[in-house]
Amino acid sequence: MAEIARIALPRPVRQLFDYLVPEGLAVQNGQRVRIPFGNQALPGIIVELDPKDPAKRGLKPIQNALEDWPVLPEGTRELLLWAARYYQHPPGECLFAALPPALRKGASATLAQTEYWWPGEEEPDALTSRAHRQKALLQWLREHPGQPRHAIRTAGFDGSLLQALEKKGLALRTHSKPAPTEHEPLPDITPQPLNPEQQCVLESLEANSRGFNTHLLFGITGSGKTEVYIHYLMRRIRRADEPSQYLVLVPEINLTPQTMARFQRYFGSRLAVWHSALNATERLQTWSRVREGEPVIVVGTRSAVLLPFTRLDTLVVDEEHDGSYKQNEGFRYSARDLAIYRGRLSQCPVVLGSATPSLESLHNARSGRFHLHTLNVRAGNAKLPGMQLIDVRSRPLRGGVSPPLLEAVGETLAQGEQALLFINRRGFSPVVMCFDCGTPIDCPQCDARLTFHRHDNCLRCHHCGHQQAMPRRCNDCGSDNLNAVGQGTERTETVLQERFPETPVLRIDRDSTRRRGQLDRMLDQVRSGRPCILVGTQMLAKGHDFPAVTLAGVLDADGGLFSSDFRGPEHLAQLLVQVAGRAGRGERPGRVMVQTCQSGHPLLQQLCRGDYLEVAESLLRERKQAELPPASFMTAFRVESGDMDTSMMLLEDLARRARSADEGVMIMGPFPAIMARKANRFRAQLLLQHTQRPRLHRLSNRLCLYLEQLRPGRQVRWSIDVDPLNID
């Protein structure tokens, strides 16, 4: 019988499109097809198949299928369609977001087919006696016939060796899958023994690992969480009845080769990586391995949660509080929350880990939805450092550094140790100002100051990318008395280098690590253990293990205390604890110094007593009193257009509709964004909040449909953000 296929297209529309399945074409859900659309041919994904409805006439037929298998297997499809409803995002865009870039545009997935390598028939006389590496590879191929290229690379042989052998007829490639052989065993390595506390967590994880369960592993920095994940995964792999797949999510910044090397040691060629620096071919390869059901352990950033796993057995989300798990554009999903839903679909355990859990996760642990496990001591011999506040009111600062902190840096270096200073701004100075008339230099396109970058004498906007040369004179009064005001990483670096000319000062921020490999080179230098000073942004605060760092300094803690975003204090507490966590991870104890003008602030005082949990509990109580998330749920509607009136009027219209819908939803705004003008677009937002998610969801959905049929004009862009992480 003829069928109708309901097809999702990579378009910003919430509807699906009906097409006729031509006689003789066998298709399934999740398969890619090419369809006529207007005067184009577009790739689409089949979401539903229905028997032909005689009432529907004039449907166009599908042109052809792009593969004869579904690119999105059932579980992944279900996850994405659920996410499309939950995040109120067009389903086609959600489904296509889960494909590697090459497949989104309709390229053939046969490209993804892996090559398998075999030893050639030729006699190895063709090899000169000096070609040791080629001989070694030939020997390896004989022992491991039919391996894909990535396994050969993992074994330590690079592509040029394979090519050399192939030229001599000593290596052959095929594109067909080798006959199923025993899968590569795990490397025969016994991980280092866990300490009693870690062992206890491992046992209690295992005791609650049947079916779907969410665990929150709250372990102070350096307590050995990663070691626990590794032990747990190894046990899960050994005890699985059939070959299974595993996912470890890590924040964007954390994916250093060191982390990878650690996983590599234990999981060998079963390890697959996934992050934004992979090129299109590498992505396609990893995606194919996952899709083919290979028993991989994927370590990856945010979008790895969308990979087409078919036999998922365990999910781990490391540093679950990290903001990089939330996608802030287009399909605005939270990878942590999708990981939990994925665990439910696959009926398998999900482990969230952090030294500074989000209030959302703590709330879930308190209410019994998550199992809570804690690690209170540092692994090995390391001690958690003490935190000290330095009040910098009316103190002379040099490059943002106060005398006591400067002195502490000197002492640290004198003892042959390393110091790390955290500052939340890159560039030399965040403002350039005329000292005669007081006018700062603004971005011509944004409500923002231009940042001065001294290394190339340039002014840049960190919001829209605008850049210009440093002017000679003030635009307003013509004076040449222009001055760089305030600190960025570059200035702090300069000042410290002048003060400690003998010591390497390493600046780690987005500017100094733009090229591939730069960050790793600097991190290697830090790991050498010789005295140095690290100056950096967020990038330094997270995840890294620097055993020789014994002093961590925070140059300015005050921004987060007075943030307009209700999550400001939570994020500040997390940041301070994470920065502090970089100190004293080795044998020697560490200390932490935090500069502030608010040394009496209760939040900072509490953090000094060293208890993140205490801070988090009191923030959670405040949120509950104010009925803010996680005590309630929030949705943000955002509009940007060529002028503020248009943006505000559209949101006012939306607010009126929301009020008349009478769902008891709390409505905040509309109000202009903190940075009202960005890249010459005027931005405003409307916040909706309710203690019952279904009501909020129902109303948001109605408003989306309204906006979609309203089509507010080409210049106007709107978006919805469910569970927004940043609301300024």
Pattern of binders to ligand ADP over 489-528, x per CB under 6 A?
----------------------------------------
* Cα 204–Cα 571–Cα 496 angle in degrees, nearest 5: 115
Task: Pick the stretch among 192-200, 285-293, 497-505, 651-659 that binds ligand ADP (CB under 6 A).
Answer: 192-200
Nearest approach in angstroms of CB 590 to ligand ADP is 13
First-to-last alpha carbon distance for the chain, in angstroms, is 55
- Binding mask 350-379 vs ligand ADP (x if CB under 6 A, - otherwise)? -----------------------------x
Exactly one of 113, 195, 374, 497 binds ligand ADP (CB under 6 A); that residue is 195
Q: What does 466 bind: Zn ion, ligand ADP, none (CB cut-off 5 to 8 Å by kind)?
A: Zn ion
CB within 8 A of 179, min separation 6: which ones? 146
- Number of Cβ atoms within 10 Å of the Cβ of 423: 26
Partner interacting with residue 474 (select from Zn ion, ligand ADP, none; CB below 5-8 Å by kind): Zn ion
> Which positions lie near Zn ion, rule CB under 5 A?
434, 436-437, 439, 443, 445-446, 461, 463-464, 466, 474, 476-477, 479
CA atoms within 13 A on the CB side of 193: 2
The helix-helix angle for 568-580 and 612-625 (nearest 10°) equals 170
Helices (H), strands (E): how many in the chain?
21, 30
Judged by CB under 6 A, the residue of 9, 170, 194, 335 near ligand ADP is 194
The item of Zn ion, ligand ADP, none sharing an interface with residue 192, based on CB under 5 to 8 Å by kind, is ligand ADP
Q: Does 684 bind ligand ADP (CB under 6 A)?
A: no
Nearer Cβ to Zn ion (465/602): 465
**Tokens representing residue 277 in the block:** 């620096």
DSSP 303: G
The secondary structure of 445-457 as a DSSP string is SSSSBPEEETTTT
Which is closer to ligand ADP, CB of 236 or CB of 311?
236
Q: Which of 3, 93, 227, 337 binds ligand ADP (CB under 6 A)?
A: 227
Least distance CB 64 / Zn ion (angstroms): 46
Contact range with ligand ADP by CB under 6 A, out of 23-31, 96-104, 187-195, 689-697: 187-195
Least Cβ distance, residue 378 to ligand ADP (angstroms): 7
Interface with ligand ADP (CB under 6 A), residue from 108, 139, 192, 475:
192
> Which residues fall within 8 angstroms of residue 609, CB to CB, at 6 or more apart?
none
Q: Is 542 in the site for ligand ADP (CB under 6 A)?
A: no
477 binds, among ligand ADP, Zn ion, none (CB under 5 to 8 A by kind): Zn ion
Bridge partner list, 650: none
Distance (Å, whole) CA 47 – CA 683: 35
- Using CA atoms, how far apart are residues 583 and 580, in angstroms rounded to an integer? 6
Under the criterion CB under 6 A, does residue 380 sit at the interface with ligand ADP? Answer: yes
Question: In this complex, which beta carbon is closest to Zn ion, that of residue 140 or of residue 428?
Answer: 428
Q: Contact between 319 and ligand ADP (CB under 6 A)? A: no
For 316, the 3-state DSSP assignment is strand
Cα 550 to Cα 585: distance, rounded to the nearest angstrom: 8
437 binds, among Zn ion, ligand ADP, none (CB under 5 to 8 A by kind): Zn ion
Q: Quote the distance between the C-alpha of residue 537 and its chain's center.
A: 16
Identify which of residues 194 and 484 has a Cβ nearer to ligand ADP in the complex.
Answer: 194
- Figure out which of the listed residues 224, 300, 357, 724 binds ligand ADP, where binding follows CB under 6 A: 224
Phi and psi torsions of 591, nearest 5°: -140, 160
458-460 and 467-469 beta bridge pairing: antiparallel
Query: What residue 464 binds from Zn ion, ligand ADP, none (CB within 5 to 8 A, per partner kind)?
Result: Zn ion
223 binds ligand ADP per the rule CB under 6 A: yes
CB-CB neighbours of 477 under 10 Å: 12
As measured in angstroms, the least distance from the Cβ of 205 to ligand ADP is 15
Task: Please write down the HEC assignment for all residues of 261-300.
Answer: HHHHHHHHHHEEEECCCCCHHHHHHHHHHHHCCCCCEEEE
Instruction: Note the Cα 364 to chain centre separation in Å.
Output: 22
| 226 in contact with ligand ADP (CB under 6 A) | yes
In the complex, least distance from residue 4 CB atom to Zn ion, rounded to whole angstroms: 49
Whole-angstrom Cα distance, residue 343 to residue 449?
45
Strands (E), 529-680: 533-536, 549-554, 591-596, 633-641, 666-678
Token digits of residue 370: 């998550």
Stretch that binds ligand ADP, among 180-188, 219-227, 519-527, 640-648 (CB under 6 A): 219-227
Q: Which does 343 bind (CB under 5 to 8 A by kind): ligand ADP, Zn ion, none?
A: none
Nearer to ligand ADP, 374 or 563 (CB): 374
d(CA 283, CA 277): 10
Q: Which stretch binds ligand ADP (CB under 6 A): 5-13, 190-198, 561-569, 604-612?
A: 190-198
**Stretch 582-641 residues interacting with ligand ADP (CB under 6 A):** none
194 binds, among Zn ion, ligand ADP, none (CB under 5 to 8 A by kind): ligand ADP
Q: Which does 290 bind (CB under 5 to 8 A by kind): ligand ADP, Zn ion, none?
A: none
405 binds, among Zn ion, ligand ADP, none (CB under 5 to 8 A by kind): none
Residue 151: contacted member of Zn ion, ligand ADP, none (CB under 5 to 8 Å, by partner type): none
Q: Does 93 bind ligand ADP (CB under 6 A)?
A: no
- Distance between CA atoms of residues 663 and 698, nearest Å: 9
3-state secondary structure of 657: helix
> Which tokens go with 93?
């865009």
Residue at token pair 């109000």: 671
Q: Which is nearer to ligand ADP, 259 or 595 (CB)?
A: 259
- Residues in contact with ligand ADP, counted by CB under 6 A, come to a total of 15
Tell which one of 73, 219, 385, 630 touches ligand ADP (CB under 6 A).
219
In whole angstroms, what is the distance from residue 146 CA to residue 424 CA? 50
> Min. distance of Cβ 364 from ligand ADP in angstroms?
21
Taking CB under 6 A as the binding criterion, the range among 193-201, 402-410, 411-419, 674-682 that sits at the site for ligand ADP is 193-201
Residues facing residue 458 across a β-bridge: 453, 469
What is the rounded radius of gyration, in angstroms, for the C-alpha atoms of the chain? 28
Residue closer to ligand ADP by CB (options 192, 518) is: 192
Taking phi over 0 as left and psi of -120 to 50 as alpha, with beta for the rest, 136 belongs to: alpha
Contact residues for 504 (Cβ-Cβ < 8 A; gap 6+): 525, 530, 532, 533
Q: How far apart are CA 623 and CA 565, in angstroms?
A: 12
- 317 in contact with ligand ADP (CB under 6 A): no
Phi, psi of 392 (to 5 degrees): -105, 15
Q: Does 545 bind ligand ADP (CB under 6 A)?
A: yes
What distance in Å separates the CA atoms of residue 200 and residue 380, rounded to the nearest whole number?
Answer: 16
* Residue numbers at the binding site for ligand ADP (CB under 6 A): 192, 194-195, 198, 219, 221-227, 379-380, 545
